Amino acid sequence: MNVQYRFISTAQGLLAISFLMFGLWSSAIAHDGHSHDKETKPPSVVNTFPTLTAVSENYELVGIVQSGQMTVFLDRFESNAPVVDAELEFDIAGTVVKAVRNPDGTYLVNLPKSLNLKNSTPVTVTVLASSGADLLSGELDAINPASQLSSSIIWILLMLTGLLLAILLTWLLIRRNPSLLILIQDKISAVMRRYRK
């Protein structure tokens, strides 16, 4: 009987791992591109959205595009301190757009409606701030569907592999010893009774 329970526990463990991986994957997808920190920082996961990066000796700029607007984070290059008093002017594929300051220290840019976000676009940024003026250049990188889906596919494959292993192990055990089916049914019934309470 101990061997039987050991096999059942193994199957349950594999199922638990499968559901855990699914939960982690779902959480990663749900929080993609969102930051819940109190401080205003660029999201750690930004490959879901078109992004702009531009660096000079004085400044580091990161822009994240959502719904036709780009949220811009401007920091000092050496200290990584946010620059909140700058005047930013963007030359996006020949169209000049001025950024608007947000209360949280970021900047907002309304992108030209004619901008094609499926292709990379050269961008030049003029910075006028109390810490000094500068000219930054970079590219607004388009979304890469392959990279966007790769992590999701990996998580799905891992989850399905664990689930299939658990099903296979359970099926082999039941085929070898049909009485295990009664034990599994009893355990499922016990779990359902706890859940209903």
User: Are residues 133 and 80 part of one domain?
Assistant: yes
Model confidence band, residue 36 (pLDDT cutoffs 50, 70, 90): very low
Question: 69, 108 in Cβ contact below 8 A?
Answer: yes
Residue 44: what pLDDT?
46
User: Are residues 136 and 153 part of one domain?
Assistant: no
pLDDT value at 129 more than 70: yes
Question: 136, 59 in Cβ contact below 8 A?
Answer: yes
Q: pTM of this prediction?
A: 0.53
CA of 185: how far to CAs of 126, 176, 188, in Å?
A: 69, 17, 5
User: Are residues 98 and 33 part of one domain?
Assistant: no
User: Are residues 2 and 33 part of one domain?
Assistant: yes
Long-range contacts for 133-136 (Cβ within 8 Å, ≥24 apart)?
134/56, 134/57, 134/58, 134/59, 135/56, 136/54, 136/55, 136/56, 136/59, 136/61
- What are the backbone dihedrals phi and psi of residue 67, each rounded to the nearest 5 degrees, phi first? 55, 45
Whole domain around residue 12: which residue ranges? 1-39+148-178
Judge residue 106's burial from the number of C-beta atoms within 10 Å of its C-beta, 0-12 exposed, 13-18 middle, 19 or more buried: buried
Mean pLDDT of 35-52: 57
In a domain, 194, yes or no: no
Decide which of 50 and 5 is more confident. Answer: 50
Find, among 165, 161, 113, 121, the residue nearest to 141 by Cα: 121
Mean pLDDT of 36-42: 46
With a pLDDT cut of 70, the percent of the chain lying above it is 66
Decide which of 155 and 85 is more confident. Answer: 85
User: Are residues 84 and 119 part of one domain?
Assistant: yes
Question: 126, 109 in Cβ contact below 8 A?
Answer: no
> What residue has token string 């349950």?
12
With a pLDDT cut of 90, the percent of the chain lying above it is 35
Distance (Å, whole) CA 78 – CA 74: 12
pLDDT value at 38 more than 70: no
Domain count, the chain: 2
User: Are residues 100 and 155 part of one domain?
Assistant: no
Decide which of 175 and 95 is more confident. Answer: 95
In a domain, 195, yes or no: no
Please give the structure tokens belonging to residue 150.
Answer: 């790769």
Residue 171: what pLDDT?
72
> Minimum mean pLDDT among 120-124, 144-148, 163-167: which range?
144-148
Distance (Å, whole) CA 60 – CA 119: 23
